[in-house]
Amino acid sequence: MPRTPNTAERRRQIVIALHAVMAEHGYERASIQAIARQAGLAPGLIHYHFKNKEEILLELVKTLADVAQARYSELTAQARSPDERLKAFLDARLGTGAGADPQAVAAWVMVGAEAVRQPQVRQAYQQVLAAELAQLQGLLTACLADRGKTTARVSLLAASLLAFMEGAFQLASAARELMPREYAAGMALRIVDRFIDAEPTSDDSPGKV
């Protein structure tokens, strides 16, 4: 008997195809026919697994978030301190070494553009950013506490770092040649170090006597 196709694997194949077509032509020109050609499937199979192109894009949002988290998990495996875990996070998102995927960065920038126009994409995009923000805040809180610093402004630092990251993604996609090589991860870490150094110790924070 013929083997029954694996639905999860087929959906993954379609999402990867959208990713590839978007990287070359943008989301607007990523038609169902173009996605089908890239995936080596009939257009009818695309519609069987996904209601429309937006639904594929929503799945791609989850996939890109999972890829970024997997890279962080790999880089942080040997981390032994809060500073090392934060560096692993920044390297995972902004580093250009092994495992970096410029196409994934470009796709994420396009997701952000579609989030402005499509409410469902905006919701999925914001969910990913909320998780990133919470993870950053946890990492930064640990770094501040490890150095005996107050954590009163950690949410502001986390939000600023997230904004830095999103801006770096945009520049990497649209103006890579204008930016110094490998500036983003290193400068993000310096920003954090200087912020933490400038913070009062926890004993000097408001309310302490």
Maximum alpha-carbon separation in the chain:
78
Question: How confident is the prediction for the chain on average, in pLDDT?
Answer: 91
Q: Are residues 123 and 36 in the same domain?
A: no
Q: Are residues 80 and 175 in the same domain?
A: yes
**Residue 81 in tokens:** 């301190």
Q: Is residue 161 part of a domain?
A: yes
What is the pLDDT at residue 1? 42
The pLDDT-based confidence of 184 (bands split at 50, 70, 90) is very high
Q: Which amino acid is at 128?
A: V
Q: Are residues 69 and 144 in the same domain?
A: yes
Q: Are residues 2 and 78 in the same domain?
A: no
Assess whether pLDDT exceeds 60 at residue 197.
Answer: yes
Domain that holds residue 27: 1-50
What is the pLDDT at residue 5? 56
Assessment of whether the complete model's pTM goes beyond 0.85: yes
Q: Are residues 19 and 96 in the same domain?
A: no
What is the pLDDT at residue 116? 95
Q: Is residue 36 part of a domain?
A: yes
Q: Is residue 155 part of a domain?
A: yes
Assess whether pLDDT exceeds 80 at residue 3.
Answer: no
Q: Are residues 116 and 146 in the same domain?
A: yes
CATH code, domain with 2: 1.10.10.60
Question: What's the pLDDT tens digit per position in 18-29?
Answer: 999 998 888 999
Q: What total number of domains does the chain contain?
A: 2
**Residue 34 in tokens:** 């173009």
Q: Are residues 27 and 105 in the same domain?
A: no
What is the pLDDT at residue 54? 95
Q: Which amino acid is at 28?
A: E
Nearest to 93 by CA among 120, 128, 45: 128
Return the minimum-mean-pLDDT range out of 2-16, 93-107, 120-134, 177-191.
2-16
Question: What's the pLDDT tens digit per position in 74-96?
Answer: 999 999 999 999 999 999 999 88
CATH code, domain with 130: 1.10.357.10
Q: Are residues 64 and 117 in the same domain?
A: yes
What is the pLDDT at residue 120? 96
